[in-house]
């Protein structure tokens, strides 16, 4: 592999003019960002909702008819719902903007022969990058020089272990140019240099980099539209057509039979409003917006609120290992001496390490940099600080490095020579691959065999194993290579990317909820299996990337049904796995944080990205972002998704039910020539005060007791099941029967029309409150439905009582509604009507209770 030609002399780099020209032709070194959803754009999306347009159109009709108050009521209702949605989604976008990483960090480049620090977005092809420990690589580049260089490429590969880099001149001819391999000459945009230094020539920037290509592939993926929106729109269209037909018929009959065409039009409008379920899409919008706000309090950000409900139907949770199940932070998990004695390290209690392991640990620390970036070296220092807490830093300020030997392709070990002030001689510490340390220590065949067996046992537990050796040296000069020292083998150190503390409980809860957890990782099968075992994922089939490549799509679909671990997986393979799971009818949730997760995050039914360690590309591709990177938050989101869907069905069932008595009481006088009860202002009052506010009551309801102990609902489960529709109609019919009885009884006693209207309206309000209580739970007892805490319910009851009191007691408002003062006896009748509906429906509920829950997935 050859280094691409550089402009000017070596290590001179591009000239300022050449860099400016390439910046002009290639563009800035940054990932293409999708158009930001501005407030105006979100507003446009919301206003395009069919029923919002219908509400605004209705307000315009009333305005043309001269009913200014009714028009303003409808417009206010529509504006309130739009405002809630726009504020919530705008807030979400602002939080995302605050979360965005700098796609390309500051970069140190050589231009005109001078080292300059520039913005990463200004790096161009051909620039010479100067890389050192702690630097974030700003662009894909080919190493011209490298000294002991290692890079963490976990954002691209999913592997938490750094990989060794070599100059292009030393790279094997067979290097495939893909991230994640040892001994390769390419560094990639977004990778972190954890050890060493180097100079690299930029080969790709922005969209042409490895990160950029993955980001661009997202554009070809289509996200599935939320099913609830589709179902709701279809239902609204059906009701709109039926309502329009009935309203037109009522207008014609009223006009022909009674002759008052203006009154006929107003009665027809009132009837149409009573039948139009305009609350459905609005309640859906408010429900999801409030759900997004509620879940944000638990540090979970919803980029698309409608996706929350899909989580409740998830049947498979595909999770990345590194940074999702694990801490993405290496820690020492086991120490093993040459005698075979081993110690499992408790990172929470390192002060009790036996002294027999002190020399192994101290030498391991001395083989590391004093202030390391390498995660494995940091693990040595972390354990050392815990072991010698109170004794001062180790090594202390009187220890200095006299010489160091970095990693070489033929010897994968790091050696450092230390001098302690005031003492003669030098201490030599080495750590590295066990076979390299064995070679330095010149172990005999028996000892080498024992070492190999020990390494195999530790690797079988998913540990990254390093050997540690020690030597003494009397005086300078030092040998040319580490092999010149007489090393003694001290033992093995096993490192692991520790499991997050919340993971086992979260996985167990997923399993109790009927959700299969599948690990998809770029790590090795042994490591992945060990982590899966600790997490409680289970020992299902293990598929590797090479095995997956050899499978046809039907074969992959067959294996995907039972596999729980997918190891050594590349980004495009993750996408294949998600698509295979979707093909067999699974509802797929996918978690991840790296660029390599982005395509599968977008392809899944619900993508869940990590907000702290996650990349921009992953967050943009996902629907939900976990701000605290806690896997346990996924369970909170799933629980909330199920709760939201349950409560949404309750709210929708309630709305369906309340339209029955409202429509019935609007149609009854028309059909039998009785005094007209309700006009548009009454219907608008009910819609503004009862329906949208009650959606807040149902949204605030706590989850059912078995919400995480039942299987996921079926993907094809309609929002309105047959049982729910029957139950809603039954509720509405009972309420209509009771209120109609009050209305007819009042008429039979020759009561004044205004008083009849007031009594009937108050009775209707009481029955609607009863319907709220009935629908709070599909299975709870009457006592629980009434007394279970819900602050929103208290506010709604107080608001309804206050609004009704104003309508009945304030003369100006009472005249607007056409009411007469209502006696205490009338109020008692209205209250009795509500109680009759409440107790009657609670007695009927057990008959339909088993059928009211969403149908579980077979």
Q: Which of 283-297, 425-439, 569-583, 803-817 has the lowest mean pLDDT?
A: 283-297
Range scoring the smallest mean pLDDT among 26-35, 199-208, 357-366, 761-770: 26-35
User: What tokens does 526 get?
Assistant: 């042994």
Half-sphere exposure at residue 535, Cβ-oriented, CA atoms within 13 angstroms: 36
Helix ranges (DSSP H) in 356-444: 358-366, 375-387, 434-441
Return the pLDDT at 660. Answer: 84
Cβ atoms 782, 846 nearer than 8 A: no
More confident position, 815 or 322: 815
pLDDT score, position 612? 62
Of 26-35, 90-99, 237-246, 689-698, the least confident: 90-99
Residue 589 has pLDDT above 70, yes or no: yes
pLDDT digits (tens, 9 = 90+) for 505-531: 989 999 898 899 998 887 778 878 888
Beta strand segments in 722-844, E:
none
User: What was the pLDDT predicted at 268?
Assistant: 60
Can you give the length of the chain in residues? 858
Among 161-175, 291-305, 649-663, 701-715, the least confident range: 291-305
Model confidence at 316, pLDDT cuts 50, 70, 90, reads very high
Residue 317: CB atoms within 10 Å? 28
Two structure tokens written together for 171: 């790279």
Q: Is the dihedral of CA 827, 828, 831, 837 positive or negative?
A: negative
> Considering only 281-290, 659-668, 814-823, which range has the smallest mean pLDDT?
281-290
Pick the closest to residue 854 from 711, 730, 728 (CA basis).
711
Mean pLDDT, the chain, rounded, equals 78
The pLDDT score that the predictor gives to residue 459 is 84
Q: Within a 10 A sphere around the Cβ of 176, how many other Cβ atoms?
A: 8
The pair of structure tokens assigned to 592 is 């991840």
261, containing H or E segment: helix 261-275
- The Cα-based distances of 55 to 154, 193, 245 in angstroms read 51, 58, 18
Q: Taking residues 364-387, report their average pLDDT.
A: 86
pLDDT computed for residue 1 by the predictor: 36
* pLDDT score of 8 more than 60: no
What is the pLDDT at residue 96? 46
Q: How far apart are CA 539 and CA 516, in angstroms?
A: 12
Query: pLDDT higher for 274 or 32?
Result: 32
**Over the stretch 720-732, which tens digit does the pLDDT of each residue have?**
777 788 888 899 9
Q: Is residue 80's pLDDT more than 80? A: no
Task: Evaluate whether 177 touches 221 at the Cβ level (below 8 Å).
Answer: no
How many whole angstroms separate alpha carbon 191 and alpha carbon 194?
9
Q: In terms of pLDDT, which residue wins out, 513 or 99?
A: 513
Lowest mean pLDDT among 43-47, 125-129, 654-658: 43-47
CA distance from start to end of the chain: 56
pLDDT band at 295 (very low <50, low <70, confident <90, very high): confident
- Which of the residue ranges 325-339, 406-420, 532-546, 828-842 has the most confident prediction, judged by mean pLDDT? 828-842
Q: What is the pLDDT of residue 271?
A: 57
Q: Which residues contact 721 (CB under 8 A, 6 or more apart)?
A: 851, 854, 855
Higher pLDDT, 832 or 791: 832
From residue 241, how far is each of 28, 662, 676 by CA, in Å? 53, 18, 24
Instruction: For the sheet with 516-520, list strands across it.
Output: 300-302, 624-626, 606-610, 588-592, 316-319, 516-520, 563-567, 541-544
Rounded to an integer, what distance in angstroms lies between the CA atom of residue 629 and that of residue 320? 12
Of the candidates 744, 74, 623, 697, the residue with the CA atom closest to the CA atom of residue 301? 623
SS3 state at 681: helix
């Amino acid at each position: 592999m050859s280094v691409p030609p550089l402009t000017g002399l070596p290590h001179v780099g591009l000239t300022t003019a050449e860099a400016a020209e390439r910046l002009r032709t290639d563009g800035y070194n940054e990932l293409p960002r999708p158009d930001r959803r501005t407030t105006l754009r979100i507003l446009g999306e919301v206003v395009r909702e069919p029923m919002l347009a219908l509400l605004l159109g209705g307000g315009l009709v009333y305005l043309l008819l001269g009913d200014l108050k009714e028009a303003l009521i409808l417009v206010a209702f529509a504006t309130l719902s739009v405002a809630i949605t726009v504020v919530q989604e705008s807030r979400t976008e602002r939080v995302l903007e605050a979360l965005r990483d700098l796609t390309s960090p500051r970069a140190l480049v050589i231009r005109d022969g001078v080292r300059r620090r520039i913005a990463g977005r200004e790096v161009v092809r051909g620039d010479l990058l100067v890389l050192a420990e702690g630097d974030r690589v700003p662009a894909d580049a080919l190493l011209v020089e490298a000294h002991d260089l290692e890079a963490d490429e976990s954002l691209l590969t999913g592997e938490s272990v750094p990989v060794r880099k070599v100059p292009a001149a030393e790279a094997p001819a067979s290097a495939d140019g893909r991230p994640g391999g040892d001994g390769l000459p390419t560094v990639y945009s977004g990778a972190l240099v954890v050890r060493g230094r180097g100079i690299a020539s930029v080969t790709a920037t922005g969209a042409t980099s490895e990160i950029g290509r993955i980001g661009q592939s997202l554009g070809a993926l289509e996200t599935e539209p939320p099913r609830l929106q589709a179902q709701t729109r279809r239902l609204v269209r059906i009701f709109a057509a039926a309502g329009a037909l009935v309203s037109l018929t009522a207008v014609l009959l009223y006009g022909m039979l009674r002759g008052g065409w203006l009154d006929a039009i107003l009665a027809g409008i009132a009837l149409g409003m009573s039948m139009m379920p305009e609350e459905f899409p609005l309640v859906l919008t408010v429900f999801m917006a409030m759900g997004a706000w509620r879940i944000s309090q638990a540090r979970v950000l919803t980029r698309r609120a409608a996706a929350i409900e899909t989580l409740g139907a998830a049947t498979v949770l595909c999770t990345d290992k590194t940074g999702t199940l694990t801490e993405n932070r290496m820690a020492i998990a086991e120490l093993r001496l040459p005698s075979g004695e081993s110690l499992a390290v408790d990172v929470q209690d390192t002060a009790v390490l036996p002294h027999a392991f002190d020399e192994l640990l101290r030498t391991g620390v001395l083989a590391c940099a004093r202030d390391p970036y390498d995660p494995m070296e940091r693990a040595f220092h972390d354990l050392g600080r815990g072991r010698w807490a109170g004794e001062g830093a180790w090594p202390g300020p009187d220890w200095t490095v006299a010489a160091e030997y970095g990693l070489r392709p033929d010897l994968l070990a790091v050696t450092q020579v230390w001098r302690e002030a005031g003492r003669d001689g030098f201490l030599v510490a080495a750590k590295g691959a066990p076979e390299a340390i064995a070679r330095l220590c010149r172990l005999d065949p028996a000892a080498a065999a024992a070492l190999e067996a020990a390494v195999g046992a530790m690797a079988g537990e998913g540990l990254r194993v390093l050997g540690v050796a020690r030597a003494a040296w009397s005086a300078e000069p030092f040998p040319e290579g580490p092999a010149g020292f007489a090393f003694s083998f001290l033992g093995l150190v096993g490192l692991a990317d520790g499991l997050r503390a919340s993971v086992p409980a979260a996985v167990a809860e997923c399993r109790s909820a009927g959700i299969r957890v599948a690990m998809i990782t770029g790590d090795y099968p042994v490591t992945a299996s060990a982590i899966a075992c600790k997490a409680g994922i289970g020992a299902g089939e293990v598929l590797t990337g090479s095995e997956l490549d050899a499978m046809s799509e039907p074969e992959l679909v067959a294996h995907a049904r039972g596999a729980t671990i997918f190891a050594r997986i590349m980004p495009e393979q993750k996408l294949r796995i998600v698509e295979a799971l979707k093909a067999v009818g699974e509802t797929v949730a996918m978690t991840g944080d790296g660029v390599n997760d982005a395509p599968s995050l977008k392809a899944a039914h619900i993508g869940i990205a990590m907000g702290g360690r996650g990349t921009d590309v992953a967050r943009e591709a996902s629907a939900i972002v976990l701000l605290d990177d806690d896997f346990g938050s996924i369970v909170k989101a799933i629980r909330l998704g199920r709760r939201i869907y349950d409560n949404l069905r309750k709210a929708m069932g309630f709305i369906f039910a309340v339209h029955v008595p409202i429509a019935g009481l609007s149609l009854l006088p028309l059909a039998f020539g009785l005094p007209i009860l309700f006009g548009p202002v009454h219907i608008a009052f009910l819609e503004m005060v009862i329906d949208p506010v009650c959606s807040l009551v149902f949204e605030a309801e706590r989850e059912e007791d078995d919400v995480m102990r039942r299987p996921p609902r079926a993907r094809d489960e309609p929002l309105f099941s047959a049982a729910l529709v029957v139950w809603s109609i039954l509720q509405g019919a009972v309420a209509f029967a009771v209120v109609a009885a009050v209305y007819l009884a009042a008429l039979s006693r020759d009561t004044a029309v205004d008083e009849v209207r007031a009594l009937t309206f108050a009775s209707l309000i009481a029955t609607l409150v009863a319907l709220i209580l009935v629908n709070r739970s599909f299975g709870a007892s009457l006592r629980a439905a009434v007394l279970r805490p819900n602050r929103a319910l208290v506010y709604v009851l107080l608001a309804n009582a206050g609004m009704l009191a104003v309508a009945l007691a304030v003369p100006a408002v009472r005249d607007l509604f056409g009411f007469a003062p209502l006696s205490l006896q009338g109020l008692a009748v209205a209250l009795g009507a509500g109680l009759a509906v409440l107790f009657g429906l609670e007695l009927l509920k057990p008959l339909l209770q088993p059928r009211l829950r969403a149908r579980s997935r077979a």
